[in-house]
A and B are shown apart, each in its own frame.
Chain A
Amino acid sequence: DTAVSQTPKYLVTQMGNDKSIKCEQNLGHDTMYWYKQDSKKFLKIMFSYNNKELIINETVPNRFSPKSPDKAHLNLHINSLELGDSAVYFCASSRNLGATNEKLFFGSGTQLSVL
C-alpha cells in the first residue's frame, strides 16, 4: 500500500478556475505538508499541519488553502488559478513536527498545468 498518496497525478485547467488536490497518508503520522516544486525544481514548503495547527509559509498567496478533514488527510484547494501556479505539488507527512531526526515521506506529486 502506498504510504502517502495524492490525486490526481496530472491536472490541466484554465486560468481562473478553482481546483483541489487530495492527499492521504496511512502511516498514522501527526503532521502533513504541502510542497511546491517549480520549473527549476526548487522545492519550497507551502504549509505544515499538525494537530489542527496550521503553519503557513508567508510567501504563499491566500488563494491557496489547505483543508484537513482528519489527521490522515490534507487537501489543497486553489482558487482563481494563475499561470504561475503551474508546478508540481507534493504532499508529505512525518510522525510529528519537532523531532530531531524527523523523516519526511512524500507522495508522488501532482503536476498542475494552468493554461
Chain B
Amino acid sequence: AQSVTQLDSQVPVFEEAPVELRCNYSSSVSVYLFWYVQYPNQGLQLLLKYLSGSTLVKGINGFEAEFNKSQTSFHLRKPSVHISDTAEYFCAVRSEGGGAQKLVFGQGTRLTINP
C-alpha cells in the first residue's frame, strides 16, 4: 500500500516570494505522483503529475515539482507566488499498476499568500 505525508499543514508566504510545499511518499512499488489544488469553494484540480521520464515536472500556473526517488519526495515549488495562489494543495500517489481509484491523497497544505 502507498501513503503520502505532507509535512506542513499551513504555509504562509508573502506575495512574490518563492514557496516549496513538501511531500513524501511511501511505497514498495513504482509510483505515479500528482499534485492537486483546491481553490476556495471549488473541487480539486490537477496541477501536475509525474509518470516517468524527466524528474522535473512543470504544471499549470508556474508550478513545478521534482521527483526524488532516493528521498521518496515530490516537493512542489513556485519561484514567485501571487495572491491568487492561495489554496489548499494536495499531494497524491498511486502505484503504476493501480487505476484511478487507487489514488491516495495526503492531508493537504494550506498555502496563504500575504500582500
Partners in one complex: yes
Name the segment of B19-27, B38-46, B69-77, B78-86 touching the other chain.
Answer: B38-46
Tell yes or no: A59 within 8 A of B by CB: no
Interface residues of A in 85-110 (CB under 8 A from B): 90, 92, 94, 97-109
Q: Which residues of A contact B41 (CB under 8 A)?
A: 108
B67 CB, min distance to chain A CBs, angstroms: 15
Return the contact of A101 from the options B36, B38, B49, B108 (Cβ within 8 A).
B49
Binary A-proximity of B73-115 (CB < 8 A = 1, otherwise 0): 0000000000000001010000010011101010110000000
Name the segment of A12-20, A37-45, A64-72, A74-82 touching the other chain.
Answer: A37-45
In the assembled complex, the Cα of A96 lies from the Cα of B105 at a distance in Å of: 19
Say yes or no: A98-B44 contact (C-beta < 8 A), given A40-B107, A42-B105, A42-B107: no
Chain A residues touching B, range: 20 to 34
- Tell me how many residue pairs across A and B have CB atoms closer than 8 Å: 60
Say yes or no: A100-B51 contact (C-beta < 8 A), given A41-B108, A43-B90, A92-B43: yes
Q: Which residues of B contact A101 (CB under 8 A)?
A: 32, 49, 51
Tell yes or no: A112 within 8 A of B by CB: no
Say yes or no: A104-B107 contact (C-beta < 8 A), given A31-B100, A55-B101, A94-B100: no
Question: Is there contact, CB below 8 Å, between B88 and A109?
Answer: no
B32 CB, min distance to chain A CBs, angstroms: 7
Interface residues of B in 28-57 (CB under 8 A from A): 32, 36, 38, 41-46, 49, 51
Tell yes or no: A21 within 8 A of B by CB: no
B18 CB, min distance to chain A CBs, angstroms: 24
B57 CB, min distance to chain A CBs, angstroms: 12
Return the contact of A97 from the options B42, B96, B99, B107 (Cβ within 8 A).
B99
Q: List 10 A-B contacts (CB under 8 A).
A: A43-B44, A97-B101, A98-B99, A98-B100, A100-B32, A103-B46, A103-B49, A104-B100, A104-B103, A106-B38
Since A103-B49, A104-B46, A106-B38 are in contact, a sample of 9 more A-B pairs with Cβ atoms closer than 8 Å, ordered by chain A residue number, is A42-B107, A44-B105, A45-B103, A92-B44, A97-B99, A97-B100, A103-B46, A104-B36, A107-B43
